[in-house]
Amino acid sequence: MKYKAVIFDLDGVICSTDRYHYLAWKKIAEEIGVYFDESVNNRLRGVSRAESLDIILEAYNGKVSDEKKRDYMSKKNALYRHLLEGMSLNDLDPEVKTTLDQIRAKGIKMAIGSSSKNTKYILKQIGLDDYFDAVSDGNNIMRSKPDPEVFLKASNFLGISPGNCLVVEDAKSGIEAAIAAKMDCAAIGNGTKYHLANYDLENFSGLLDIL
For residue 148, the surrounding DSSP H or E stretch is none
The string of DSSP codes covering 118-143 is: THHHHHHHTT-TTTSSEEE-TTS-SS
Burial class (CB in 10 A: 0-12, 13-18, 19+), 201: buried
Query: Per the residue annotation, which of 9, 147, 170, 184 is the catalytic one?
Result: 9
CA angle 85, 22, 68 (to 5 degrees): 90
Does the annotation count 9 as an active-site position?
Answer: yes
Query: Per the residue annotation, which of 11, 147, 170, 184 is the catalytic one?
Result: 11
Does the annotation count 54 as an active-site position?
Answer: no
Amino acid of residue 133: D
**Short-list 204, 190, 196, 185, CA closest to 6:** 185
- Distance from C-alpha of 162 to C-alpha of 5, rounded to nearest angstrom: 9
Which residues are known to be catalytic?
9, 11
